[in-house]
Amino acid sequence: MASLSRPSLPSCLCSFLLLLLLQVSSSYAGQFRVIGPRHPIRALVGDEVELPCRISPGKNATGMEVGWYRPPFSRVVHLYRNGKDQDGDQAPEYRGRTELLKDAIGEGKVTLRIRNVRFSDEGGFTCFFRDHSYQEEAAMELKVEDPFYWVSPGVLVLLAVLPVLLLQIAVGLVFLCLQYRLRGKLRAEIENLHRTFDPHFLRVPCWKITLFVIVPVLGPLVALIICYNWLHRRLAGQFLEELRNPF
């Protein structure tokens, strides 16, 4: 009677390890990392800014769900799902201001463009990629700056007044020099023609001539200061309004 052959222990162990390896490799096959900018992105109020994001290793993300949201309340900034932009899921303050650049989505690279940047946009953003049940995300930071943040009112006034003072000094020196030369050269002619010309023609005070020259220059400078103050108050008012009505 022939004896039945039994599988050896090493062969069973090898089969078990092979199945385990196949299961682990299949579970990790769809995994990836999401990479965003390492340093804060800076933008000026009223301009547009781009927030890049990609997956590594790169692969086609057309069929994935891609989006940006803002912590801590997970307000949706932009959402891409089922091959379309889901505008209805956006937070009210971002509707009509965002655009997903998908030129390189076949390589796993996308960029979110935000138009008309506001002060309230400053802070953290989170980009995520979701492939079925697997999701990874990356955080990034946006810095919003005032276009006139580098100019303080004191510096602006100094820049406006300094040219005026220099021009006033230059005009005064030129006038004094001409007056001195003309007094010596034309003294005889002026005395002979005193009935025709005003004898005080060359004795007009220097400050009157200077004032006559400076006033047309001061007008644009004063207008510049007024425009700066108006623009600064408007930006500050816009920022306060965004804080009162974030949505």
Q: What is the pLDDT of residues 99-153, one digit of tens each?
A: 999 999 999 999 999 999 999 999 999 999 999 889 999 999 999 988 765 556 6
**217 token code pair:** 């220059």
| 156-173 tens-digit pLDDT | 666 777 777 788 787 777
Encoding tokens for residue 212? Answer: 């006559």
Over residues 40-56, mean pLDDT: 95
Would the pLDDT of 64 be above 70? Answer: yes
Instruction: Between 191 and 45, name the one with better pLDDT.
Output: 45
- Cα 221 versus chain centre, distance: 28
Q: Which two tokens stand for residue 138?
A: 């990356």
Widest Cα–Cα separation across the chain:
158
Percent of the chain with pLDDT over 90: 42
Sort strands 41-44 and 134-145 into parallel, antiparallel or unpaired. Answer: parallel
Reading the block at residue 247, the tokens are: 């949505």
Could you tell me if 36 and 53 are in contact, meaning their C-beta atoms sit under 8 angstroms apart?
Answer: yes
**Which of these, 149, 53, 41, lies nearest to 108 by C-alpha position?**
53
pLDDT of residue 245: 59
Q: Which residue has the higher pLDDT, 188 or 93?
A: 93
Who wins on pLDDT, 145 or 236?
A: 145
Closest CA to 126 of 36, 63, 246, 49: 36
* Reported confidence tier of residue 72, pLDDT bands at 50, 70, 90: confident
Q: Which of 235, 246, 193, 240 is nearest to 47 (CA)?
A: 235
Prediction pTM value: 0.56
Residue 137 class from Cβ within 10 Å (0-12 exposed, 13-18 middle, 19+ buried)? middle
Residues 119 and 131: their CA atoms lie apart, in Å, by 33
| Residue 25 predicted with pLDDT over 60 | no
Q: Which of 227, 54, 40 is nearest to 127 (CA)?
A: 54
CB atoms within 10 A of CB 224: 13
Would you say 43 and 113 are in contact if contact means Cβ atoms under 8 Å apart?
no
CB 35 within 8 A of CB 54: yes
Across residues 223-227, what is the average pLDDT? 74
Q: Provide mean pLDDT across the span 60-87.
A: 92
Roughly how many angstroms between the first and final C-alpha of the chain, as a whole number? 86
Report the pLDDT value the prediction gives residue 184, as an integer from 0 to 100: 65
